[in-house]
Amino acid sequence: MFKRWFGEKDTREVIMAPLHGEVVRIEEVPDPTFSKKMVGEGVAIIPKEGKVVSPVKGEVVQVFPTKHAVGLRSEKGVELLIHIGLETVFMQGEGFVAYVRAGDKVKVGDPLLEFSIDLVKEKAKSAITPIVIINPDRMDQIEMEWPKEAKMGETSIMKMKVK
C-alpha cells in the first residue's frame, strides 16, 4: 500500500561509455590489479580518441594529480574509477587535461578529461582504459554489456541495482 502512495524507489543505475572505442572484459586488461578485480568489477575500453565524458549523473570525487584517472559517485551511490591507460601515472600529467575537479556536479556526457592518445600509446604500457565499480558490495546485481563499439555518453556498458 505504501509503495502505491509514495512510489517505489528506483535503484537501477546505467553506466554509459565514457569513451569511444571497443568494449572488452576487465579480465583482458594486461594488469592484474584490474584483471583480477582487485580494484573492483567493471569493463575496459580500448579508446579510439582521447576524450573522456561522465558516464553517470553525479559528482566528481577525485581527479588524480597526474590527470590519468578520475573517481565519480553517481546520484544513486555507484562509485566509479576511470583509469586512462596502464602505467600512465608515470607520464606525470604529460598529455592530459582535466576539465573537472573534486566536488563538481556532472551529468552524462559532460567532459571530464582529454588526453593525447598518441602520447599514451608511445609512453604508457597500454591505452586500454578500465571503468571499474569500486564499491560492488553496494550492488544487488551487476550486468555487463558487450557492444562491439561504444560511443561516449550514448552506449550503455553496465547496468546494476543499488542496494
Please give the Cα distance from 20 to 145 (Å, whole number): 15
**Site of grid cell 500500500:** 1
Is 83 designated active site?
A: yes
The grid coordinates listed for 78 are 555507484
Dihedral of CA atoms 37, 39, 40, 44 in degrees, nearest 10, equals -70
Q: Which of 83, 96, 117, 129 is catalytic?
A: 83
Residues marked as catalytic: 83
